Structure 1
Amino acid sequence: MSQKSRVLFLCVANAARSQMAEALLRHTDPEGYEVCSAGPQPSEVDPHARLALEQLGVSTEGLYSKPLESFDGQAFDYVITLCDKSAFECSTLPGAGEYIAWDFEDPATSQQANAYTHCLQQIHERIKLFVLVKSKAHAPLQMLAPVTLFKCLADDTRARMTQLIAQEGELCVCELTAALQESQPKVSRHLAQLRSSGLLQDRRAGQWVYYRLHPHLPAWVRQTLAQVLTADDPQLAEDRLRLHSMRDRPDRAVLCG
C-alpha cells in the first residue's frame, strides 16, 4: 500500500475556497492524499460553497471550519494557500514540506454571476493539474535517483535522523526531538521532506506517528545506508546516547501528545 501524501489547504476564514479544495482533492484522489483545511480566522462553512460541491456530486460530509492552531506540530507534505492574505500570514508555518500559493477570487464578495460555481470549477481544474503533476513527480521507488538520496542527506539534520532511524528501526517525533536536541517543528518539517522523497514511511498509532525506512527502498539505497552505519560516526553515537537516556520512552505521553 502506497503512503498517502498529507495536504493542508489554507484560507483566512476556512469557509469557501479551502473547503472546496479539501472536498475536491479528497474526491479526486482519495487513495493518494490525506486532506485537511484550516484558517487563521475560521468561521463557518459557506452554505453556497457546500451547495456548489453537492451539485457537482462531491461529498461535503465532515466539512467544518477549523482554526490553524488545531494542526500545530503536525507535518504536511504540501501546504497550499487559496488566497494572497493566507499566503502572507501562513508563509512560515512549521511542518510543511512544500508551500504552494494559489489565489482565487473570493466568491462571497465577487460580483460575477454564478461566482461559487465558477470558483469551484477553477479550483477543480487546479486540483486535477496538481494531482497529475505530483503523480508524475513521484517516480516509483525502484527508479529513485542517487541525486535524490544525496540531496536529502546533504542536510545535517536529515542525515542524522535518517541514520538514527536506520539504526533504531522506528522512531517517533518526540524521540528524534530529544536525540537531536532540535525543535519539534524543525524535526517535523525534515521528516515531511524525507517522507516525500520516498526514504521514509510513517504509521499512525492513536495520536502518535512513527517513522521508519520505506520497506520498498531499492537495494542500493539500503546498502548505502548500511555502509554509512559502519563508519562509527561519533555524532550518531551521541544522538543514540541522548535517545536511550530519554525518560518515559515507552508511553511518550508527555512529549508526543
Structure 2
Amino acid sequence: MKTRVLFLCSANSARSQMAEVLLRHFGGDRFDVFSAGTEPSTVDPRTLEALKGFGLEAQGLVSKSVESLGDQHFDYVISLCDKAHRECRYWPGSGVVMAWDFPDPKVSNDPKAFERTLQEISERIRLFVLVNSKDVNSEVKVLQPLEFYKSLADETRLLSLLLIEQEGELCVCELMTALDLPQPKISRHLGQLRKAGLLLDRRQGQWVFYRLHPLLHDWMRDVLRQTREHGTRMLRQPLARLEAMGDRPSKGGNVCGTALAG
C-alpha cells in the first residue's frame, strides 16, 4: 500500500501546494499525496508560475480545507508553517506529525521568493523520498560530487553556469553573445549540463531558456555563488557583452530574431 502524506499550511495557496506537486512528481508511485489549509483561500498565481517554470505539472490545483478531509488516516502529516502546526499538531489517527517551517513567499519583497521557496521545499522533498523509500526512485537524480566538479572543468560550461546563476535564467542566444561563441558549441555544452542534472530548460515561444535545476544540492549552489563572487575578472567581459545586448529575450525582448534551441 502507498504511504499517505498530507501537507498543511494556513491558506493552502503556496508552500503546501508546492510540496504536494513535488512529492507526487517524484514519488507518486509510492505516496498518496494531499494538501490542505486551516484557512484555505485560492492558489496564488505565482505558485503556478513557479511550478510551471520548473517543468512541473500545475494544472487543476485548488485550495482545500482541512475539514474536507474528515477523519482520514495519514502516515505523515507535515505542516509548512507554525500556525498550521499549532492547529493540527494532533491529527486523529496520524502516524508521524512533522513541522517543516518555510518562510511565506507571499510576504517577501524578493521578486524570486516563490522560485527560491520551491527550490528549498524540493530539496526537502528529495530527501524525504530517499529516506522513506527502500530503494532510490530512479526519477530522482542524485548528482554526485565527482560529476558536479567534472561539469565545472570546462571553461564554457563553467562560465555558462556562473552567468545563469547570476541572471537566474538565460537563453542560448544570450550565452552566445556573452561568451562570443557559435550556437552549436553553446548548445552542446548546455545539453551536457542538462543531462548531468545541473540545468533545467523550458521553451517559451521561439526561445529555450536555461536555469539551475531546482533539485541541485544547496552546497553546489553555494560553490557556484562563491565562484561567481570571487571570479569577477573572468566574468567582466562576458557580462559587458551581455549588458550591451540590450533587447534581451530573458528581459522580454526579441533581439535574436530567430529561434535558437538548445
Q: Structure 1, residues 118-159: CA drift from partner, whole Å, max 9, x if none?
A: 00000000000001111149xxxxxxxxxxxxxxxxxxxxxx
| Alpha-carbon distance between aligned partners in 2 of 1:113 and 1:67, rounded to the nearest angstrom | 28
* 1:75 aligned residue: 73
Q: 1-side partners of 2:23 and 2:39: how far apart? A: 22
- For 2:97, the aligned partner's letter is Y
Deviation per CA, 1:209-249: give whole Å up to 9, x if none.
Answer: xxxxxxxxxxxxxxxxxxxxxxxxxxxxxxxxxxxxxxxxx
> 1:215-226 counterparts in 2 under 5 A?
none
Distance, in Å, in 1 between the alignment partners of 2:59 and 2:26 is 15
Once the two structures are TM-superposed, the CA of residue 11 in structure 1 deviates from its matched residue by 0.2
Look up the match of 1:12.
10
User: How high is the TM-score relative to the length of structure 2?
Assistant: 0.50
Q: CA RMSD in A?
A: 1.5
Partner of 1:241: none
> Which of 121, 146, 158 lines up with 2:119 in the alignment?
121
Which of residues 78, 92, 95 is equivalent to 1:94?
A: 92
Q: CA deviation at 1:77?
A: 0.7
C-alpha distance in 1 between matches for 2:5 and 2:16: 11
What code does the residue aligned with 2:77 have?
Answer: V
> Once the two structures are aligned, what percentage of the paired residues are identical?
55
User: 2: CA distance between counterparts of 1:136 and 1:105?
Assistant: 31
Q: C-alpha displacement at 1:5, in angstroms?
A: 0.6
Displacement over 2 Å in runs of 4+:
none
Deviation string, structure 1 residues 135-185 (Cα, Å, up to 9, x no partner) = 149xxxxxxxxxxxxxxxxxxxxxxxxxxxxxxxxxxxxxxxxxxxxxxxx
* 1:89-131 deviations in Å (ceiling 9; x for gaps): 1101212111111000100001223000000000000000001
Q: Given the alignment of the two structures, is residue 26 of structure 1 paired with residue 24 of structure 2, yes or no?
A: yes
TM-superposed deviation, 1:57 = 0.7
Alignment of 1:133 onto 2:131: yes
Distance 2:4 2:90 in 1: 18
Question: How many residues are paired up?
Answer: 136
Correspondence for 1:84 among 67, 82, 85 = 82
Q: Please, which runs of 5 or more residues in structure 1 have no aligned partner?
A: 138-257
Aligned partner of residue 63 in structure 1, secondary structure: coil
Structure 1 length-normalised TM: 0.51
Q: Distance in 2 between matches of 1:13 and 1:46?
A: 10
How far, CA to CA, are the matches of 1:116 and 1:130 in structure 2?
21
Whole-Å separation in 1 of the counterparts to 2:41 and 2:7? 15
AA of the residue aligned to 1:125: E
Cα displacement string for residues 13-70 of structure 1 (whole angstroms, at most 9, x for unaligned residues)? 0000000000110011110111110011000001000110011111112311000001
Aligned to 2:195: none
Please, which moves more after superposition, 74-83 or 88-97? 88-97
Which residue does the alignment assign to 1:59?
57
Alignment-derived partner of residue 216 in structure 2: none
**Equivalences for 1:168-183 in 2 at 5 Å?**
none
Distance 2:129 2:77 in 1: 14
Report the Cα distance in structure 2 between the residues aligned to 1:116 and 1:83, rounded to whole angstroms. 15
Amino acid at match of 1:93: W
